Amino acid sequence: AYSVYDEDIGYCQGQSFLAAVLLLHMPEEQAFCVLVKIMYDYGLRDLYKNNFEDLHCKFYQLERLMQEQLPDLHNHFCDLNLEAHMYASQWFLTLFTAKFPLCMVFHIIDLLLCE
């Protein structure tokens, strides 16, 4: 339904993970409204636009934060030539709903929606 609603973005890989988590907690209509709100008001939609330009910005921000806050890990990743896009794209595009345990995903979504 979202892909019909938002013709500019349409369906992008990863949206179904977030939609599924929302559908586990609420009726279909409410889940759709929450998905629209997350996509527009929380900036998830922007990650899919302009050839994923904002997504690349998030990768840069993640790498700078790791360099500042976790320098040993950052250096280890650099030694391995491991860049953020290699491990974090699915995190950002699915709001962590694809690769983490469901109990952690619920907590992340709760934190997001409480803000």
pLDDT at residue 17, as a whole number: 92
Map out the domains of the chain as residue ranges: 2-114
Using CA atoms, how far residue 98 sits from 8, 27, 50, in Å, is 24, 21, 23
Average pLDDT over residues 12-38: 91
- Tokens 């806050």, located at residue: 69
CA separation (Å) from 78 to 9, 34, 71, 84, 91? 33, 38, 10, 10, 20
Segment 46-81, tens digit of pLDDT: 888 888 889 999 999 999 999 999 999 999 999 999
| Alpha-carbon torsion, ordered 1, 50, 108, 21, to 10 deg | 20
The secondary structure of residue 50, as a DSSP letter, is G
pLDDT at 22 over 80: yes
Which fold is adopted by the domain 2-114? Answer: Cyclin A; domain 1 (1.10.472)
